[in-house]
Amino acid sequence: MSIRNIAIIAHVDHGKTTLVDELLKQSGSFRENQRVAERMMDSNELEKERGITILAKATSVEWKGTRINIVDTPGHADFGGEVERILSMVDGAIVLVDAAEGPMPQTKFVVGKALKVGLRPIVAINKIDRPDARHEEVINEVFDLFAALDATDEQLDFPILYGSGRNGWMNVAPEGPQDQGLAPLLDLVLDHVPEPSVGEGPFRMIGTILEANPFLGRIITGRIHSGSIKPNQAVKVLGQDGKVLESGRISKILAFRGIERQPIEEAHAGDIVAIAGLSKGTVADTFCDPAINEPLKAQPIDPPTVTMSFLVNDSPLAGTEGDKVTSRVIRDRLFKEAEGNVALKIEESSEKDSFYVSGRGELQLAVLIETMRREGFELAVSRPRVVMHKDENGQLLEPIEEVVIDVDEEHSGVVVQKMSERKAEMAELRPSGGNRVRLVFFAPTRGLIGYQSELLTDTRGTAIMNRLFHDYQPYKGEIGGRVNGVLLSNDAGESVAYAMFNLEDRGPMIIDAGEKVYAGMIIGIHTRDNDLEVNVLKGKKLTNMRASGKDEAVKLTPPIRMTLDRALSWIQDDELVEVTPKSIRLRKMYLDPNERKRFEKSRTAGAA
């Protein structure tokens, strides 16, 4: 059976996963009476909750006697490490573009990588049924984007389809007909995407996706570069430097058949398969016949731009809600994560109780923290910091991002003002239809940390912000931080509604009445710029005097809820987020007030 390998790439929320659902349904991968979940490829719990793809996943459909292996890729730049590896497995790409939004920053990021490795794209204009669709302009924007990314003449001669992934149709004309379903897209894949190129010699494969299975152990997915493989065959694993990492035997070969993975007796060059049986081989390693000594070249991965400290939780409430609290289990979990996620970098600090975790962005690190807390981990994490570099002349360089903000015209002024305060430079301002404008900035990454929630407040929730790493540029100077101080608890116990009611003049609360607190824990936002220690444990004095009026029940203003993403972007450098399976608490790094004063003095002395 002949094979085609394709990736579906697009900006977040342009409909990749929904299109894959329809391809599986229409190619006969399910029984007629089979119940099928929506967005089947988003199997991870966090993917379902956030409505985004985080992990790249493979599936396959059969069409007219040809097996089409399809890889669904993430749309967020924070998970770009997944995308970069995937492109080495495929020979073609379907570039999915929203008919109203047009090509967005993440489209640019992934398409640039795809064109660089020589893939010939198919452009599919999705959501053509949107009332604000503008497909003709979008096609011109896609062409301009390809030209700007140095596409070859062959790549610029891309075929175009129009349709709606949700309604399950694609066609060469925007108006249809719609009765052919997705057949025109599948036919185009057979005609336009070449058969996989196959190398000479015995079995070789480069690992691209790693996962752990409770029954089979480590499972590595990749495309077979040359030769063939059978279960129980002897193989060895070569690192990128050519060193032998381990030798062993393949216990099982799994092929993608629809959304199921089925064991097969033999796999040949060009096919995408998963193999089990090896304990050390990981992503970017070469799995090969024992006679091979040269590893395959892996795609280079862009460097991380944001780093955070992961610390052992040392608060007075440590160990009361989670069962994985020691530095050893946290260390093992982080290094296990880094094995399969090449965009993450883990370093141990000199204290041994903390680790520096670097990644592509706040979202990638927030997803890792959320996954760990659901597994029963307790830890404290610091504010995200950007990874700085120095050039050969010793000049400090910082990461700059391309930021695209779509916003209603009436709010564009406040967006431009706030971005300029963050040392951003405006590159473009143009109308995007429906009284909205598209603003393009080049901004330092550190200025964007925590801006998302402020942007939504400023624009009444109407703005959409997309970010993409641009390059490293000279340091832009100081950027102002948070203007408010915090309210700190001065003792340990349970917060009392009466005390919180009397403190409402001092600022809004971020905790409820009846919550456990401890000295040094942040319980509210101060209306002024200094920190203030307050007593939230103070109850009403009881007397035997009857009050003249009936005592009213205390009515508290609802607290500001701090989600993990919001807490990470809101805290300052001397504060931490305490993360447990049940709670997210904010605290000072130093809980003792005397230690805090000493730290503040040393910091101001160092700055002077």
Q: What Cα–Cα distance (Å) separates residue 381 from each residue in 322, 373, 571? A: 15, 12, 10
Is there a binding annotation on residue 14?
yes
Is there a binding annotation on residue 543?
no
Q: What Cα–Cα distance (Å) separates residue 260 from each residue in 60, 120, 220, 304, 326? A: 9, 28, 16, 34, 37
Name the E strands within 335-411.
345-348, 354-359, 379-381, 385-386, 389-390, 396-408
Is there a binding annotation on residue 68?
no
For the chain, counts of helices (H) and of strands (E): 15, 34
- Please tell me the distance from the alpha carbon of residue 568 to that of residue 381, in angstroms, as a whole number: 8
- Please tell me the distance from the alpha carbon of residue 474 to that of residue 159, in angstroms, as a whole number: 41
Name the E strands within 53-149.
57-63, 66-72, 92-98, 120-126
Q: Phi, psi at residue 77, to the nearest 5°?
A: -60, -25
Bridge partner residues of 126 (DSSP): 98
Element (H, E) at 452: helix 451-458
Is there a binding annotation on residue 76?
no
What is the distance of C-alpha 139 from the center of its chain? Answer: 28
Mapping DSSP to helix (H, G, I), strand (E, B) and coil, where does residue 2 land? strand
* Long-range contacts from 185-189, C-beta under 8 angstroms, 24+ separation: 185/23, 185/94, 185/122, 185/124, 185/161, 186/23, 186/27, 186/61, 186/63, 186/64, 186/68, 187/63, 187/64, 188/122, 188/159, 188/161, 189/4, 189/6, 189/63, 189/68, 189/92, 189/94, 189/122
Q: Phi, psi at residue 595, to the nearest 5°?
A: -65, -35
Q: What Cα–Cα distance (Å) separates residue 423 from each residue in 306, 443, 531, 596? A: 18, 6, 27, 30
Residue found by looking up tokens 């444990």 in the block: 537
Is there a binding annotation on residue 13?
yes
Is there a binding annotation on residue 127?
yes
Is there a binding annotation on residue 225?
no
Is there a binding annotation on residue 126?
yes
The number of C-alpha atoms within 13 Å of 60 and in the hemisphere containing its C-beta is 21
Residue found by looking up tokens 């592509």 in the block: 360
| Residue type present at position 225 | H
| Residue type present at position 313 | N
Bridge partner residues of 98 (DSSP): 126
Name the E strands within 55-183.
57-63, 66-72, 92-98, 120-126, 160-164, 169-171
Name the binding residues for GTP. 13-18, 126-129
Annotated binding site: 13-18, 126-129
